[in-house]
Amino acid sequence: MYWRKFNGESIDLPIKQAVADAIVLETEKGTKLKVCIGTDSQVKGDDTEFATVIVFLREHNGGFMYIHNEKTKTKYHIKERMLVEVAKSIEIAYELCDLFIEHHVEMEVHADINTNPQFKSNDALKEAMGYILGMGFAFKAKPEAFASSCCADKICN
């Protein structure tokens, strides 16, 4: 799985090692971190592109993120696509959660799903929330889900 930094620099380590190294480096600097994981997708012609981000927030000092993009020709209904986004975020959160526990780093999974029933993505809200909370992760949806609705959204466009 190919990951990169926001500036385009490739992350050559396995993502778990890169995240562990980032946590250690920031902790050694005395920085308190919070991590938000989210995925967004865009349909472009026959392709659906997914962007998953790991956003590291430095308390009172900005942040940085790691990015993974992938494309598929699979056709999704909107609800299915929203749940695939959530599944991609959970997959990464699950892979990394022991690091966050070990280093006392707060982590949230962000879903690009609107809490307003007037939006189509809202059809997936209950299932997404149940999936994320059922895995034991903190959950945020729009408008609080900036990792998916802002960060990953910008990478997909």
Residue bearing tokens 């959204």 = 153
Binned at pLDDT 50, 70 and 90, residue 156 comes out as low
Give the residue from 112, 128, 97, 124 showing the smallest Cα distance to 15: 97
pLDDT exceeds cutoff 90 at 95:
yes
Omega within 30 of 0 (cis) for the link into 117: no
Task: Return mean pLDDT, the chain.
Answer: 92
Per-residue pLDDT of 3-48, as tens digits, reads 999 999 999 999 999 999 999 999 999 999 999 999 999 999 999 9
Per-residue pLDDT of 66-85, as tens digits, reads 999 999 999 999 999 999 99
Q: What is the pTM of this model?
A: 0.92
Query: According to the model, what pLDDT value does residue 157 have?
Result: 56
Q: Where are the domains of the chain?
A: 3-156
Query: According to the model, what pLDDT value does residue 1 have?
Result: 81
Structure tokens at 63: 């942040």
pLDDT exceeds cutoff 60 at 120:
yes
